[in-house]
Amino acid sequence: MGSREVLGQAARLASSGLLLQVLFRLITFVLNAFILRFLSKEIVGIVNVRLTLLYSTTIFLAREAFRRACLSGGAQRDWSQTFNLLWLTVPLGMFWALLLGWVWLQLLEVPDPQAVPHYGSGVVAFCLSAVVELLGEPFWVLAQAQMFVKLKVIAESLSVILKSVLTAFLVLWVPHWGLYIFSLAQLLYTAVLVLCYVIYFTKLLGSSESTKQQTLPVSRMTDLLPNITRNRAFVNWKEAKLTWSFFKQSLLKQILTEGERYVMTFLNVLNFGDQGVYDIVNNLGSLVARLIFQPIEESFYIFFAKVLERGKDATLQKQEDMVVVAAVLESLLKLALLTGLTITTFGFAYSQLALDIYGGVMLSSGSGPVLLRSYCLYVLLLAINGVTECFTFAAMSKEEVDRYNFTMLALSSSFLALSYLLTQWCGSVGFILANCFNMGIRITQSLCFIHRYYRKSPYRPLVGLRLSLALLGAFALSGGITAISEDWEEGARCRSTGFLLPEAAGRKRKAHCWGYPAGAVLSITIKVGFPKKGHVFWPQLGLLARRRGPRCAGPGEAVDTRYLAGAPSGLPFAPLPPLATPQKTVTWVCLIVSRTTHCSTPPHSYLPLWATPPTSARAPVAFTAWEMFWPWDQLLIQIINRTREPEKHILTPALPLFLHKILGVGAPGWLSWLSIQLRLRS
């Protein structure tokens, strides 16, 4: 399978995973918001911090190294040896479950039975659920290696939904069951997850006419079971050694990933109630990371691992593959950076509002908003680190992985010490600050590796982290506007109760909710949605403002001349970027947001004929371009059309129209005007 075929499958895996996870996570998000109103902070802290830490630690230590090692091999492998290696996760998981379960029951502080009943049963149930989930590990690796796009997402999403529904039902009807509720829900989750994989492969291997069945390395279900023969070794020792290297690294990575929970659990720096609030805010803040960054990281790690040969730099790889790899890495870095900047910019102003909607006064008062604002900065670092480590771990040799483990060891030690010190100084926010520090060090390590990897080659994928001053200015302006908007909305808040007043405050809250977020997607659209070779927006506006002649169509562009009649000179319409690109995905998000934030009656009456959205019968290509930017395109075209000399200030001739749009849309008018000003001055 060539690199482009693998890239296509990885892209489909990431996009399908993203869309399906958004749908299913939205359902579980609503269910969790409902459940939160029927639970105490102490139960939330025990379940979401202590018991979930027990489950995730057991799972991570038992399988993470095996997954990475078994997915790194090429197409030529003995799959029976790979399956034998994967089945070792079950006894290893039993060992970790028994050891950690004893620690959780005997060494850690036991909560008050009156506040949190049935704690011991909860520990046993979560350990058992971890072992049950490990039974499906061979099926999961085979599905990922064969790029079965929808199986993983559907199985996990269905399991999460059933778990949330069962939890909501039991919390509503039998709340006195305590931890029994979450124990049953956790066991249901793992059982459904494993059954989805088993049922899928049972039906697939039982159908001889299936196209997928003919490409599988196994022909029947028994081939997935452990197989002992005298003619060959039980496992592939190369994979086993790589597994050991990844295991040492996984132990350190787990401490970095769940370090704050280990500090809370073993050092008792926060009580169970504060742990519950921190975990809720942490889950809310990491929602985008789980929905967007994690599917992308997992999918493109598979792509990089399949295309690259470990231990060889860019000059020793297949150059045809390196062109694709460098382009993909640059695009992923750009996408991660812009997404993280958007979340950071707008998260500061909308943190308190989000917590007030999600959990009420319990979350929106106290340290909750400060925690979520700090987490917005952490999400930016998470986005960049996910992409850089995705490539780094796929390209490192075994020796480089071992050397990297020493760095992870130092980071783990510093993180634990820094977390303890910062929590003593600034409370639960110290956990997020310590995470930011360690994430910055990890990003630096990965960037240094990528720089060395491409140093002798003509490719420079790290340019994806460079942003123009215009875009940075747009983000800065967006942050300032939303901060002012929050203060404006906060002025109408009844500080004694924490609730908004019904009339004026309600209108201000709606403006704060819907007026300004569109500016974020617009700023991304202007710079990311249309790269230079497929640009539609800037060539049109630049030529229109400068009154130059028609632009020559670039490679692959088809100018629609049918719609040029009646339009100003030099207004070509080029096709939009291909649908299967991250830029087009961001662009369609912008279209959706624009439809939900613009005025219900656009001001067509004072726009010229060519500035109104055309019908599909008149110009199909132009209609697509206009649909993408309407409603804020009328403002831009009208402003430039009324400006005969581009060196003049372009705001003055269209001040009434500008005010109309700024009141109806919000920040899109600000950012559009700023972007045009910067473009005309450049």
pLDDT digits (tens, 9 = 90+) for 69-88: 887 765 566 778 888 888 99
* Residue 31 vs residues 34, 168, 560: alpha-carbon distances, Å: 5, 7, 49
Please choose, from the candidates 488, 475, 491, 485, the residue with its C-alpha nearest in 3D space to the C-alpha of residue 515: 485
Structural domain containing residue 288: 1-37+270-466
Regarding whether 446 and 537 lie in a shared domain, the answer is no
Note the helical H segments in 396-514.
Answer: 398-426, 429-453, 469-490, 504-514
d(CA 82, CA 234): 9
Regarding whether 658 and 562 lie in a shared domain, the answer is yes
In this structure, is residue 630 part of a structural domain?
yes
What is the maximal distance between C-alpha atoms in the chain?
87
Regarding whether 193 and 80 lie in a shared domain, the answer is yes
Q: In the structure encoding, which two tokens stand for residue 278, read together? A: 């921190």
Yes or no: say if 572 and 540 are a contact pair by the CB < 8 Å rule: yes
In this prediction, residue 2 has a pLDDT band, given cuts at 50, 70 and 90, of low
In this structure, is residue 141 part of a structural domain?
yes
CB atoms under 10 Å from CB of 449, counted, come to 19
In this structure, is residue 478 part of a structural domain?
no
* Residue 663 vs residues 350, 450, 520, 615, 633: alpha-carbon distances, Å: 20, 46, 17, 27, 16
d(CA 114, CA 105): 17
pTM over the 0.75 mark? no
Regarding whether 88 and 24 lie in a shared domain, the answer is no
Yes or no: say if 667 and 519 are a contact pair by the CB < 8 Å rule: yes
Contacts of residue 125, Cβ cutoff 8 Å, sequence gap at least 6? 183, 184, 186, 187
Regarding whether 302 and 427 lie in a shared domain, the answer is yes
d(CA 413, CA 256): 9
Helical axes 52-71 vs 294-307, angle rounded to 10°: 20
**Whats the size of the chain, residue-wise?**
682
Regarding whether 541 and 673 lie in a shared domain, the answer is yes
Q: Which of 207-216, 381-390, 403-412, 588-597 has the lowest mean pLDDT?
A: 588-597
Regarding whether 457 and 411 lie in a shared domain, the answer is yes
Residue 318 main-chain phi, psi, to 5 deg? -65, 125
Tokens 């390196």 appear where?
322
Which amino acid makes up residue 64?
E
Q: Of 407, 442, 466, which residue sits at a domain end?
A: 466
Q: In the structure encoding, which two tokens stand for residue 342, read together? A: 């958007």
Regarding whether 283 and 165 lie in a shared domain, the answer is no
pLDDT of residue 180: 93
Please choose, from the candidates 598, 599, 590, the residue with its C-alpha nearest in 3D space to the C-alpha of residue 521: 590
d(CA 252, CA 420): 18
Please choose, from the candidates 577, 580, 597, the residue with its C-alpha nearest in 3D space to the C-alpha of residue 520: 597
Regarding whether 165 and 29 lie in a shared domain, the answer is no
Question: Reduced to 3 states, what is the DSSP secondary structure of residue 88?
Answer: coil
d(CA 222, CA 433): 50
Burial of 176: CB neighbours in 10 Å, binned 0-12, 13-18, 19+: exposed
pLDDT of residue 329: 86
Regarding whether 597 and 643 lie in a shared domain, the answer is yes
In this structure, is residue 505 part of a structural domain?
no
pLDDT tens-place string over residues 361-405: 777 777 778 888 888 899 999 989 988 988 888 888 877 877 887
pLDDT tens-place string over residues 527-586: 443 344 333 333 333 333 333 333 333 334 343 333 333 333 333 333 333 333 444 443
If one counts the domains in the chain, the total is 3
Q: Which carries the bigger pLDDT value, residue 524 or residue 355?
A: 355
Regarding whether 448 and 307 lie in a shared domain, the answer is yes
In this structure, is residue 77 part of a structural domain?
yes
In this structure, is residue 501 part of a structural domain?
no
Residue 493 main-chain phi, psi, to 5 deg? -85, 140
Q: Of 407, 431, 466, which residue sits at a domain end?
A: 466
Regarding whether 190 and 50 lie in a shared domain, the answer is yes
Examine the pLDDT at 682 and tell me if it is beyond 50: no
Yes or no: say if 557 and 536 are a contact pair by the CB < 8 Å rule: no
In this structure, is residue 487 part of a structural domain?
no
Element (H, E) at 124: helix 119-134
d(CA 396, CA 155): 31
Burial of 640: CB neighbours in 10 Å, binned 0-12, 13-18, 19+: buried
In this structure, is residue 497 part of a structural domain?
no
pLDDT tens-place string over residues 457-512: 888 888 888 887 887 887 888 778 777 766 665 554 544 344 444 444 455 555 55
